[in-house]
Chain A
């Protein structure tokens, strides 16, 4: 049975803090673009954008960046369904792009996202915001903004639920547990 480590309030607080850190680091919201990595990075990016807008009275462009075709394990698994890539109208050239994802683990997803991003345009800078950093990096990648550092063992599985993506009316949570042998972890 997975144990909840963050509840809805914890998540809300973490996102608020990340939003402020982004603003502080970038001295305002002037040329920010938030790109969520589907699936769960996308609603998180929107939530952060809402928080920034509330503070700055300015709509931060938000989009999504699918990294499926850039994955380095494509050949090892059945073809994956593509998820939407939506680049805001102003593009990303010269902008500060903040990539948003739910869990940072091996770093391979972010590596793929950086490749995908370079095919879309040339940002002035790229930063990374994650809700949870569970460690075990396999690439020299680190997050700029972290909601919660969560030490885990490799066998454990971190599952993030976000209300926007759940049909069953469940609320936000981050839980940790050891999956039954048959289930596939998604926290990479």
Chain B
């Protein structure tokens, strides 16, 4: 593994499978009376959140604490636009605190990359979602969930499996990271959405693309529905929310066209009635709640593998 996790593209197939197998071991530990492991005792993990995301922060916090790391939550004010707290000044503060890992969430694409490569900090940097760029730990937990359901929890288990990622691919960091990671793991990805919400050049991402959800659904082993954010509804990307739901929403009728084993995923938070109906979200195919559970194990695996032995490699 590289020292930082900035993009799903940083992971080789071996790296990714190591995260998954490690997460599988850690997940089984979650059933024990004492959930804490001493692996990161004395290490400090900083959750640096420039953007509100209680879910992701709590997931990372639980992961770090279960590995006995000291956790500092740093909710920085100010986005890239308001020029509040500067990323650099915050980074220098963290460096002074002796952070071993910085988990960063930022509204600006590439902010974790800047943090890792500008010489401001020496810590490992974990991207917890940057702008419309990537969210690699979300992709890892999605892959982990897929792997448990479709891949028998074995290396190579996702080879040839077909996954549709549906919705606002243009603005989705989850879609970017998943498209990269799932293909690294051998899965076949189809990106589905209205043409206005598929990025320029998406045809070179290695994934299939389609504008026709109904044609894709019967062929896939998993459907991942992406959230449609409120501001897109005003952005003129599609005429009305109703038309969007009609063409790209997953409802009971569409769910009935899936194969029996096909699972339904959503990175959350859902806009019920928009991209997914309540009956689909709550159906037996839905693994949405499990995705959240898996998030902690996957983030534990990432922190452990990045920090477990990062201090010195020549001290044999």
Contact = CB atoms under 8 A, between A and B. Distances in A.
Question: Touch between A and B in complex, CB under 8 Å?
Answer: yes
Interface of A: 66, 68-70, 74-85, 115, 119-121, 184
B242 to A, nearest CB: 49
B118 interface: no
B39 A69 contact: yes
A76 B309 contact: yes
Nearest to A82: B25
A70 B38 contact: yes
B308 A85 contact: no
B230 interface: no
A84 B25 contact: yes
B32 A77 contact: no
Nearest to B38: A70
Query: At the interface, is chain B mostly helix, strand, loop or mixed?
Result: loop
A75 B309 contact: yes
Q: With a 10 A CB-CB cut-off, give which of A68, A69, A76, A184 has the most chain B CB atoms.
A: A69
Interface of B: 1, 18, 21-22, 25-26, 28-29, 32-34, 36-39, 67, 304-313, 315-316
Contacts of B307: 79
Nearest to B68: A69
Contacts of B305: 79
Contact of B22 (A76, A82, A85, A119): A82
Query: At the interface, is chain A mostly helix, strand, loop or mixed?
Result: loop
B71 to A, nearest CB: 17
A74 B312 CA distance: 10
A66 B316 CA distance: 21
A69 B305 CA distance: 11
A183 to B, nearest CB: 11
A119 B32 contact: yes
A74 B37 contact: no
A78 B34 contact: no
A90 to B, nearest CB: 15
A78 B313 contact: yes
A69 B38 contact: yes
Nearest to A184: B316
B313 A77 contact: yes
Contacts of A82: 21-22, 25-26
Contacts of A66: 25
A173 B26 CA distance: 33
Contacts of A84: 25
Q: Pick the 7 closest A-B CB pairs, nearest first.
A: A79-B308, A69-B39, A82-B25, A119-B34, A76-B315, A69-B37, A75-B311
Contacts of A69: 37-39, 67, 304
Contacts of A115: 38
14 contacts: A74-B39, A76-B315, A76-B316, A77-B309, A79-B305, A79-B306, A79-B307, A80-B308, A82-B26, A84-B25, A85-B28, A119-B32, A120-B34, A121-B33
B18 to A, nearest CB: 7
B16 to A, nearest CB: 14
A77 B38 contact: no
B67 to A, nearest CB: 8
Contacts of A75: 308-312
Nearest to B67: A69
Contacts of A76: 309, 311-312, 315-316
A120 B309 contact: no
Contact of A79 (B21, B36, B38, B309): B309
B316 A119 contact: no
A85 B25 CA distance: 8
Contacts of B309: 74-80
Q: With a 10 A CB-CB cut-off, give which of A68, A77, A79 has the most chain B CB atoms.
A: A79
Contacts of A68: 39
A79 B312 contact: no
Contacts of B33: 119-121
A78 B18 CA distance: 13
Nearest to A68: B39
Contacts of B29: 85
A119 B31 CA distance: 12
A81 B22 contact: yes
Contacts of A78: 308-310, 313
A119 B315 contact: no
Contacts of A121: 33
Contact of B18 (A81, A83, A120, A184): A81
Nearest to A78: B309
Contact of B37 (A79, A83, A119): A119
B44 to A, nearest CB: 13
Nearest to A77: B309
